[in-house]
Amino acid sequence: MIDALPPQGIPAEQVLAELRGLRSADLPTHGGRLFAYVYDPARAGLDQLAMSAYALSAHVNGLDPTAFPSLLATENALVAAAARVLGAGPGTAAPDVVGSVTSGGTESLILAVKTARDAHPEIAHPRLVIPSTAHAAFAKAAHYLGVELDLVPVDPVTCVPDPAAVAAAITAETVLVACSAPSYAHGVVDPVGQIAAIAAQRGVRCHVDACFGGWALPFLRRIGLDMPAFDFAVPGVTSMSVDLHKYAYTPKGVSVLLHRDASLRRPQYFAFADWPGYTMINPVISSTRSGGPIAAAFATLRHLGDEGYLELARQTRDAVTGLAAAVAATDGLRLLTPADYTVVCLTSDDPELDLFVLADELAARGWHTQPQLPFEGIPASIHLTVTASVAPQVAQFGPALAEAAAAARAQGPVRLPEELLAMAAHLQPDQLTPELVGGLAESLGLGGEPGAAPRLAVVNTVLSAAPPRLRERLLVEFVSLLQRPSW
């Protein structure tokens, strides 16, 4: 048991040793063997620089930009840099772009939806149109903000939405249409130009979610990759989001939400004066905000510079090419979608090569991937987010993948008991209890000591068999079991 409030204070070095001990159970954040959650440029000294900058501004409060002009200056500088990278600024088709720094992609997307909703107070039941491959944060935004969500199916082979289907989904109550550049799951850039033109013709805002790849795509284009237009150079794009803590390689907690002009951004703000305290005015969801992440992001961009990001883009492209070749060379595996940018998404054509077992076998060999469940005709897949740090690891990945695939094939696919399949097919979400979920977790090997690394193939197979609403409830109850205090 960890006591965060001991009777007597603990010496600093002991506290740090305890934290290091806890961190030893985590997946590796550096080294190019974790293909999700973290973004590592493998640049010596960058972490130290970012953490030093973070410490300088950790206690600065973004609640009042007039009190801390350093935060205002660095935030405006980050917005300007993101705008330039995404085709905006003086001398472009979008010279008047403005923006705000948020805590991450989810907050950026919630604010994009909130801004579009609040721009139309006359619409009683606002609606949001997105492809079914759009990030789940849009669904979270719709849920939080009381906006109806209209999902447009994608082609199960290309994972691309049909612009005509997007057009058909727009109604008089639609306040926002959104698309991805690229989608997280498969790394596919939606037809932004066509979708933005349709939205503009219908008088609807169009948001491009470039949280995942918006910093990488422009640099990949500059090193010679061909890609469709997706940024503010596209007429009809009214807002964009890009996470700096992804391919700008800053510490966690920094995203940028951009609007084509200040009039479009105005509904993003929240202001309230009808109380006896200070008048609250917030551009983002948080009121108090630490200046630490913003200072760390500023330091990272200044240190790497434009040429640094071009070189990181080259390394990432080389890593993607090498990983894709390794997939193509492995019997039974293929790319689900073309590995055009920063994602390698693979699937299996061999019934005896279970992707969930393969993911476990890769993890056992030190390669941590992200399994994805089947969805609307799109088969199960394994997602690899590729960063610059992966490039030195490519030569080792190919043999490891072949070895893991052979082991997975020898082990055979997961076969669930009939009673478990029946339960997954017919159990209603409201029938789940903490006791039932706890027992199920125990039976699936998820009841071990914290820090243990259970094999998850059976878990993913169970989740695949469950309808989405039941799957959601299962995971809510399971995570609720995990997130309890130690007394």
State how far the Cα of 261 lies from the Cα of 114, in Å rounded to an integer. 16
Question: Residue 189 carries which side chain, given as an amino acid letter?
Answer: V
Residues 6+ apart with CB under 8 A from 195: 161, 163, 166, 177, 179, 206
pLDDT at 354: 97
Given a contact cutoff of 8 angstroms between Cβ atoms, the answer to whether 154 and 160 are in contact is yes
Q: Domain 54-300 is in which class?
A: alpha beta
Q: Assign 428 a pLDDT band (cuts: 50, 70, 90).
A: confident
User: In this model, does residue 453 exceed pLDDT 70?
Assistant: no
Given a contact cutoff of 8 angstroms between Cβ atoms, the answer to whether 245 and 296 are in contact is no
Q: Assign 431 a pLDDT band (cuts: 50, 70, 90).
A: confident
| Short-list 177, 208, 183, CA closest to 133 | 183
For 137, 265, 298, the CA distances from 283, given in Å and listed in that order, are 19, 9, 19
Question: Residue 240 carries which side chain, given as an amino acid letter?
Answer: M
State how far the Cα of 95 lies from the Cα of 84, in Å rounded to an integer. 10
Mean pLDDT of 326-346: 98
pLDDT at 161: 98
User: In this model, does residue 451 exceed pLDDT 70?
Assistant: no
pTM for this model (two decimals): 0.96
CA atoms lying within 13 Å on the CB side of residue 191: 17
Q: Percentage of the chain with pLDDT > 90?
A: 86
For 1, 6, 336, 437, 439, the CA distances from 446, given in Å and listed in that order, are 19, 30, 30, 11, 10
Three-class secondary structure of residue 171 per DSSP = coil
| Short-list 291, 285, 268, CA closest to 78 | 291
Helix (H) or strand (E) holding 257: strand 255-259
pLDDT at 226: 95
pLDDT at 449: 53
pLDDT at 454: 64
Residue showing tokens 């169009």: 206
- Per-residue pLDDT tens digits for 463-477: 998 999 999 998 898
| Short-list 189, 197, 206, CA closest to 240 | 206
Question: For residues 276-297, b (16+ Cβ closer than 10 Å) or e, as one string?
Answer: eeeeeebbbeeeebbbbbbbbb
pLDDT at 438: 82
State how far the Cα of 441 lies from the Cα of 454, in Å rounded to an integer. 11
pLDDT at 432: 82
Residue-wise DSSP of 298-330: HHHHHHHHHHHHHHHHHHHHHHHHHHHHHHHTS
| Short-list 186, 203, 440, 115, CA closest to 338 | 186
Of 40-44, 99-103, 427-431, minimum mean pLDDT range? 427-431
User: Alpha-carbon Rg of the chain, whole angstroms?
Assistant: 23
CATH superfamily of 306-411: Aspartate Aminotransferase, domain 1 (3.90.1150.10)
Q: Assign 447 a pLDDT band (cuts: 50, 70, 90).
A: low
Most distant pair of Cα atoms in the chain: their distance = 70
- Per-residue pLDDT tens digits for 210-243: 999 999 999 999 999 999 999 999 999 999 999 9
Please work out, in degrees rounded to the nearest 5, the angle formed at the alpha carbon of residue 16 by the alpha carbons of 14 and 19. 110
pLDDT at 2: 87
Q: Check residues 405 and 426 and name the one with the higher pLDDT.
A: 405
User: In this model, does residue 305 exceed pLDDT 70?
Assistant: yes
Q: Assign 34 a pLDDT band (cuts: 50, 70, 90).
A: very high
For the chain, which residues make up each domain, given as ranges?
Answer: 54-300, 306-411, 418-482
pLDDT at 99: 98
- Among positive and negative, which fits the CA dihedral 318, 321, 327, 330? negative
Query: How many angstroms from the chain centroid is the CA of residue 130?
Result: 16
- Per-residue pLDDT tens digits for 66-94: 999 999 999 999 999 999 999 999 999 99
- Per-residue pLDDT tens digits for 242-295: 999 999 999 999 999 999 999 999 999 999 999 999 999 999 999 999 999 999
CA atoms lying within 13 Å on the CB side of residue 365: 20
Mark out the alpha helices in 170-291 (DSSP H runs): 192-201, 216-222, 262-265
User: In this model, does residue 338 exceed pLDDT 60?
Assistant: yes
Average pLDDT, the chain: 95
- Per-residue pLDDT tens digits for 171-200: 999 999 999 999 999 999 999 999 999 999
CA atoms lying within 13 Å on the CB side of residue 362: 25
Tokens of 157: 């082979």
Residue-wise DSSP of 358-393: HHHHHHHTT-B-EEE--BTTBPPEEEEE--GGGGGG
Q: Assign 109 a pLDDT band (cuts: 50, 70, 90).
A: very high
Given a contact cutoff of 8 angstroms between Cβ atoms, the answer to whether 402 and 345 are in contact is no
